[in-house]
Amino acid sequence: MTTVSKLFRSEHGYLSPYFVVDVQGNLVTNTITVTGTKIELTTGSYLGYNGDALLTPTTLGPSVTHIAGTLDGLNVNGTVNITGNLNLTLNAFSLSPATPGTLNNTSVGVTTAAAGRFTTLTTTDAVTLSPVANVAISPTGTVTVSPSGTLTLGTAGQTTSFLGQLSVISSNQTVTLSPSGTGTVTINPATTGTINNATIGATTAASGRFTNAEITMPDPTWNINRTYAATKKLVEEMFIMGYFSGVSAR
């Protein structure tokens, strides 16, 4: 800056080659160079341009907030309120509040999904899990799946494995194993199990093999031991005796 040796001239204020101070104390200048630590605004004052407030002691004026720009960094220690129709794009960010907050009416991972961790997860609409990798559900507590409608497990033609114990013990349950087409049912435990209170072959009979067959019959009529080896002779004798006595083997 060129040094000017001409003194100020008073004309209802101060007149200088670089600035004018009128009688009301208004400062008119082309540039302001601050060599101190601050420019302080008093109550009711503001920095403005063309009559519009740019900066007041408490707010940024519309002339600032409505101008598109780029910030290299922003630190906010108070509350941030964002209203209006705002498209917000964040290339990389981290949210880590000191106390739990909320995220509402926002889709997460729609275009590019990433990992997520939750303490509690509640959904009120459809849930679709279709990743290209495995899905593992392995809590330390109980898993309850209790829809009000039909529950479908597995995919036709694919194996559905139950590695733990399978219990169907609730009251009034109906259990049906009835695959259609060429489907089959195989029950083949490693140790001996039991089938109780069930009719076998009542509609469509098939072959059966047993090591021992126990048949309960009226002893006064048959007067025989109830436990026999399942031989061809024994079966033939039972049918013949049942035909003539009118009592069916049961």
Per the structure, how many domains does the chain have?
1
In a domain, 227, yes or no: yes
The model's pLDDT over 15-41, given as tens digits with 9 standing for 90+, comes to: 666 777 777 777 778 777 888 888 888
Instruction: Spell 71-95 as b/e; 16+ CB within 10 A means b.
Output: eeeeeeeeeeeeeeeeeeeeeeeee
Full domain range(s) for residue 243: 212-250
- Overall pTM > 0.85: no
The model's pLDDT over 41-79, given as tens digits with 9 standing for 90+, comes to: 888 888 888 888 888 888 888 777 777 777 787 788 888
In a domain, 96, yes or no: no
In a domain, 247, yes or no: yes
In a domain, 239, yes or no: yes
Letter for the amino acid at 248? S
The rounded percent of the chain whose pLDDT value lies above 70 is: 78
State yes or no: pLDDT of 181 exceeds 60: yes
Rg, Å, the chain Cα set: 45
- Type and span of the H or E element at 233: helix 232-245
The pLDDT value given to residue 57: 86
